[in-house]
Chain A
Amino acid sequence: MIRYAPHASRPVLEGDLPFGAVAYVDADWLPSGGGDVAALVVTSDRSLLWGEEAEALAPGEDAERRVASSFLRLARRASDAVPVAARAACETPGRGLAAEWVRRLLDGARAEDGAPTAIVETRGDAASIAASSLRLADLGTLVLAGESAGAALPLDLYPNVHVRGLRLVGTDPLSPERAETSDGDEAFLAAFRGLVMDVRLGEPLPEGARCYRVSS
């Protein structure tokens, strides 16, 4: 289990990883107030661990490509959940890898003026969801694509979701299962390594990273 400790001068990831394992953590999965962090873990015996799910890598399969395809699938599902009519005024406020890819998949669409009619929220904490709810236009759609280590969040749905008629759309969570890839995926998968930054548990997190490759 990995935890995020947002010390003001020196935010770090703490905790334990199995010997020889590497964890992939999207920058948007770090809860702003600190706490347990969702992570996709590749173990030394070539398994992928995601929460309580475990998937074995095929012999000879590139583990990092498999991780990248999981992230890409997450981003695709999130972008697909945005109503077509709302894509022209859609925002994805996250700074992590999934958010970056959602923006690319949505062709960089963003609300030029006024409030967005859709937001893809790749952050999984209550404060971010509440902030996005507030920012959305009336009757807007909030795509919930953030990963959270906790099962449930405290949310006040009344002032924005209920009163302003917002729609919260749940998208499939990240999955370590193998998935077919298409030609269009290659550019994303090839770019993956360049978007991931290495960090060790207990060491200060590098600034500006979209995704962390964490080792002990």
Chain B
Amino acid sequence: MRVGQRLFSGAMVLGLKEFLNEQANRRLAGLGYSDGMIRDAKREAWWWLLARRDALARRRGLLAGEAVVWTDTGRAELIPVEVPAAGPGEVTIAVATSVVSPGTERAQYLRLPGARVSYPHRPGYSAAGTVFMVGKGVTGIAPGDRVAAVGPAHASVATLRAERVYRIPEGVSLEAAALVQLGVIASQGVRHAELRPGEPLCVLGLGLVGALAQRIASASGGGPVTAVVRSSRKQKVAETGGVQRLIALEEDEGALAGLSFPVVIEASGDPDAVETAIRLAEPGGRVVLLGSARGVTHAFPLREVRRKRVTVIGAHVETLTYESRLLGLDAHAREAGAFLARLADGSVPVADLVDLWVDPREADAFYRELARSRDLVAARFDWTKLANHERVHGARLWRPPDVRGRGMDAVRKPLVLNGRRPARNELPTASPYGAVSGDLRVGLVGCGDIAVHNAAGLAEAPNARLSACFDPDAPLAEELARQYGVAAAPSFESLLDRADVDAVFLAVPHHLHAPLAIEAADAGKHVIVEKPLANDLESAAAMVAAAERAGVVLSVCFPHRYDANALLAHRLVGEGALGSFAGTLLNFYSDKPASYWFGGFSGRSSSGWRSSRTQAGGGVLIMNVSHLVDLLRHLAGEEAEECFALTQVVDGPAEVEDGISVTVRYARGAVGTIFASSALRGQRAGGTKLDMWGSHGFLSIEPELRVYTLKAIEGLRTARWQSFPHANTNIRAAYLSRLATAIDMGEEPDVSARDGLAVQAFMEAAYRSSELGAPVRPAELLERVGA
């Protein structure tokens, strides 16, 4: 093993690392890896190597857990990590909680001067948990003991030197003890101040370190404390800590005039606050630099320092290392022990200081929030949020490194390397049918293009069936009737008269939806309408009114809601994957053949209604995109507040648009864009792109379901792109079955008449906007038709 280590070190000296790095870059780029994926793969390989080197050096195995890792500027991820099991003189801890020191980590996250870290970076240095195992020679600590630890980065498992692991005294919680390193920082700062009993003290900044320093100083017999803060938002922290006077500079700029103190502790971390600290020191006073004031103090008052004979004392926690070296003792352990003792005797209260618990899976969202907010005193990662098997588990020493490129920016299909494909997410999808009941007998009206699909859907639905059909073109009805063994009705009226028809399914030209639906409703039949609800909003409103008057169900066939992607997307949105909904993008591409305008795609039923503005109601938007408009509002859970549209006719001879662009504003500020065209060359097969995003995530629904979320959702990794296999389902069967169940149970159907009306209002608003050249609000149109 020693030979191996030497070879390893030698290779590094020879620049093998750089060589391998370059080779890896080329190889992976050649395989289609993006820069981010290359970075992820190389990190994995490098950490894999280091973990095994360390494990071999200790003659120990490996343990695995999860860690918060900053993988790039502004990106925090929860990543699987491996650590060597405790060797001689070491302790391995199952971390329960690790404390975020906002000052340090915010500065590093924002890459402030003097705080720039290289990536990948593992933040954090103070934690508490239980001992998982101890190495040889460790005394006084045993597996199962509750311990506080100095140094571990935010991770669920850590192996540390035993000297940096401290047993937690009885009566002290893990949460309090996890502050140990912050307590050490504050304690040594107070010690540098050499406070005399009763000596007044001024503390600049009441962040975590400032507040702890103030409380430790008070507990050490210091005199009255004046705290200087930016705003009075730290009032409560000051009160709990026993601060005698709180000065909020934002509210009283002149409050510092005439004040002076024998001791001033600068804990704000603002380099320019050093000047204030010196000005507040009395002649012969001490100014302790406790906050990590990264950057230049632009006006260090040299004359004042000299005139008042002030002593400025650097008090970074690293000074304990120098002190230990000089004095031959463990100054760190001394401070940690003293701090834990203060927690135990209750002289330093800390329960109020950590105001935010963070699920480690939501680390990225947390750090984004930390970057925005300066009010946070402290936060902690709660590692118990992870399942036990994720927190600490054994790792195989000889497993190969996983360099398959599951990076956050893995926008293409996962690679297959050596026959191994990375596991795709297998979030269980609920059955589109749900609990099934009833037996809905449906009469199909209109046996053309789409009726074929509707009949097939009825045949597959477990609780709905085709009982009769009708089409003015009798051979079409007869063919369908023969195929499904049902009756072909000679007229619409005769179909309505049939006792074995509970509901009619209208798959007829749009302008016929309203008169036929109203007649069916008046006849006491439930009504299903192939989308859209009608050719215009007024007709749609009349249909809804008729159904409500007759007490029958009216539903629009929007079956895309039951597509496996849509179902999973709906679930992800419901579980908060997007956070606050912020926007959508919908593109629909198609290249309709000229024959479409005379008989639809199949030509099964010849008719020119599709090209008529009055009969169809519109072109690509109402004819094709209405499905997706419904899906969007279903997923977003919000209606469009206003829209602005432009339409075009590229091909003709239709009166209806074959291209449309709609800009949408939602009620709570989200924005959306819809672009649809049926005259795009090369797009004959059609194609849809549907994306949604929010404050905490991005969801791509079409063409492939992919999600990137900062929210912790069971079964998903945060801050990673994840895609899902698409399960084929007969969406029309699902729609009809769910509708049949709702009718049987006397419940509102998934797709109600009001849903159809909302979609109709949106489309009408878009068409009106295009004509007016101004935004139109769908809600106003609904009001006008009394809906």
- Using CB atoms and an 8 Å cutoff, list the residues of chain A in contact with chain B: 124, 126, 129, 138-139, 144-146, 148, 151-173
List, in ascending order, chain B residues with CB within 8 A of A126's CB: 300
User: How long is the Cα–Cα vector from A156 to B296 in the complex, in angstroms?
Assistant: 4
Give B254-302 interface residues, CB cut-off 8 Å to A: 271, 274-275, 289, 292-302
List, in ascending order, chain A residues with CB within 8 A of B296's CB: 154-156
B116 within 8 A of A: no
Q: Is A167 touching B312 in the complex (CB atoms < 8 A)?
A: yes
Q: Is B298 touching A154 in the complex (CB atoms < 8 A)?
A: yes
**New contact pairs (15) apart from A161-B312, A167-B312, A168-B312, CB-CB < 8 Å:** A124-B302, A138-B319, A144-B302, A145-B306, A146-B302, A148-B302, A151-B303, A155-B297, A157-B289, A164-B316, A165-B315, A168-B311, A169-B311, A170-B304, A170-B306
B31 within 8 A of A: no
Main secondary structure of the interface of B (DSSP, over half): mixed
Task: Name B322's contact: one of A139, A144, A148 (CB within 8 Å).
Answer: A139
Task: Name A164's contact: one of B297, B311, B312, B322 (CB within 8 Å).
Answer: B322
B604 within 8 A of A: no
B239 within 8 A of A: no
Q: Is B313 touching A153 in the complex (CB atoms < 8 A)?
A: no
User: How long is the Cα–Cα vector from A75 to B314 in the complex, in angstroms?
Assistant: 25
User: How long is the Cα–Cα vector from A157 to B319 in the complex, in angstroms?
Assistant: 14
13 A-B contacts, Cβ less than 8 Å apart? A144-B306, A156-B271, A158-B114, A158-B293, A161-B289, A162-B292, A162-B314, A164-B316, A168-B305, A170-B305, A170-B308, A171-B306, A171-B309
User: How long is the Cα–Cα vector from A167 to B313 in the complex, in angstroms?
Assistant: 5
Q: Is A173 touching B303 in the complex (CB atoms < 8 A)?
A: yes
User: How long is the Cα–Cα vector from A161 to B312 in the complex, in angstroms?
Assistant: 9
User: How long is the Cα–Cα vector from A60 to B293 in the complex, in angstroms?
Assistant: 53
B310 within 8 A of A: yes
User: How long is the Cα–Cα vector from A159 to B314 in the complex, in angstroms?
Assistant: 10
Q: How many whole Å from A143's CB to the nearest CB in chain B?
A: 10
Known A144-B305, A152-B275, A157-B297; judge A139-B323 contact (CB<8 A): yes
Interface size of B by CB at 8 A reads 36
Known A167-B313, A170-B310, A173-B307; judge A152-B300 contact (CB<8 A): yes
Known A151-B303, A152-B302; judge A161-B314 contact (CB<8 A): yes
Task: Name B316's contact: one of A148, A165, A167 (CB within 8 Å).
Answer: A165
User: How long is the Cα–Cα vector from A124 to B303 in the complex, in angstroms?
Assistant: 9
Task: Name A158's contact: one of B294, B307, B323 (CB within 8 Å).
Answer: B294
Q: How many whole Å from B283's CB to the nearest CB in chain A?
A: 10
B417 within 8 A of A: no
Q: How many whole Å from A73's CB to the nearest CB in chain B?
A: 13
Q: Is B302 touching A162 in the complex (CB atoms < 8 A)?
A: no
Q: Is B293 touching A170 in the complex (CB atoms < 8 A)?
A: no
Q: Is B298 touching A170 in the complex (CB atoms < 8 A)?
A: no
List, in ascending order, chain A residues with CB within 8 A of B311's CB: 167-170
List, in ascending order, chain B residues with CB within 8 A of A171's CB: 306, 309
Q: Is B314 touching A164 in the complex (CB atoms < 8 A)?
A: yes
User: How long is the Cα–Cα vector from A99 to B325 in the complex, in angstroms?
Assistant: 31
B18 within 8 A of A: no
Q: Is A170 touching B292 in the complex (CB atoms < 8 A)?
A: no
Q: Is A152 touching B299 in the complex (CB atoms < 8 A)?
A: yes
User: How long is the Cα–Cα vector from A156 to B272 in the complex, in angstroms?
Assistant: 10
Q: How many whole Å from A139's CB to the nearest CB in chain B?
A: 5
Q: Is A172 touching B306 in the complex (CB atoms < 8 A)?
A: yes
Q: How many whole Å from B130's CB to the nearest CB in chain A?
A: 33
List, in ascending order, chain B residues with CB within 8 A of A152's CB: 275, 298-303
List, in ascending order, chain B residues with CB within 8 A of A166's CB: 314
Q: How many whole Å from A39's CB to the nearest CB in chain B?
A: 15
B326 within 8 A of A: yes
List, in ascending order, chain A residues with CB within 8 A of B293's CB: 157-158, 162
User: How long is the Cα–Cα vector from A126 to B302 in the complex, in angstroms?
Assistant: 10
Q: Is B319 touching A164 in the complex (CB atoms < 8 A)?
A: yes
Q: How many whole Å from A198's CB to the nearest CB in chain B?
A: 29
List, in ascending order, chain B residues with CB within 8 A of A173's CB: 303, 306-307
Query: Which residue of B has the minimal Cβ distance to A38?
Result: B303
Most buried by B among A126, A139, A170: A170
Known A154-B300, A157-B271; judge A162-B309 contact (CB<8 A): no
User: How long is the Cα–Cα vector from A171 to B308 in the complex, in angstroms?
Assistant: 8
Q: How many whole Å from A24's CB to the nearest CB in chain B?
A: 19
B747 within 8 A of A: no
Q: How many whole Å from B112's CB to the nearest CB in chain A?
A: 10
Q: Is A167 touching B114 in the complex (CB atoms < 8 A)?
A: no
User: How long is the Cα–Cα vector from A35 to B385 in the complex, in angstroms?
Assistant: 61
User: How long is the Cα–Cα vector from A171 to B310 in the complex, in angstroms?
Assistant: 8
B318 within 8 A of A: yes
List, in ascending order, chain B residues with CB within 8 A of A151's CB: 299, 301-303
List, in ascending order, chain B residues with CB within 8 A of A157's CB: 271, 274, 289, 293, 297, 300, 312, 314
List, in ascending order, chain B residues with CB within 8 A of A146's CB: 302
Q: Is A154 touching B299 in the complex (CB atoms < 8 A)?
A: yes
List, in ascending order, chain A residues with CB within 8 A of B308's CB: 170
Q: Is B114 touching A153 in the complex (CB atoms < 8 A)?
A: no
User: How long is the Cα–Cα vector from A153 to B312 in the complex, in angstroms?
Assistant: 15
User: How long is the Cα–Cα vector from A152 to B114 in the complex, in angstroms?
Assistant: 22
Q: Is B307 touching A172 in the complex (CB atoms < 8 A)?
A: yes
User: How long is the Cα–Cα vector from A160 to B322 in the complex, in angstroms?
Assistant: 13
Closest 3 CB pairs of A and B: A165-B319, A152-B299, A170-B305
Query: Which residue of A has the minimal Cβ distance to B294?
Result: A158
Query: Which residue of A has the minimal Cβ distance to B290?
Result: A162
User: How long is the Cα–Cα vector from A197 to B314 in the complex, in angstroms?
Assistant: 39
User: How long is the Cα–Cα vector from A164 to B319 in the complex, in angstroms?
Assistant: 6
Q: Is B271 touching A158 in the complex (CB atoms < 8 A)?
A: yes
Most buried by A among B293, B294, B300: B300
User: How long is the Cα–Cα vector from A215 to B309 in the complex, in angstroms?
Assistant: 32
Q: How many whole Å from B280's CB to the nearest CB in chain A?
A: 14
Q: How many whole Å from B294's CB to the nearest CB in chain A?
A: 5
Task: Name B114's contact: one of A144, A155, A156 (CB within 8 Å).
Answer: A156
User: How long is the Cα–Cα vector from A36 to B297 in the complex, in angstroms?
Assistant: 21
List, in ascending order, chain B residues with CB within 8 A of A164's CB: 314, 316, 318-319, 322
Q: How many whole Å from A63's CB to the nearest CB in chain B?
A: 25
Q: How many whole Å from A51's CB to the nearest CB in chain B?
A: 9
Query: Which residue of A has the minimal Cβ distance to B281?
Result: A170
Give B1-22 interface residues, CB cut-off 8 Å to A: none
Q: How many whole Å from B600's CB to the nearest CB in chain A?
A: 73
Query: Which residue of A has the minimal Cβ distance to B318?
Result: A163
Q: Is B300 touching A170 in the complex (CB atoms < 8 A)?
A: no
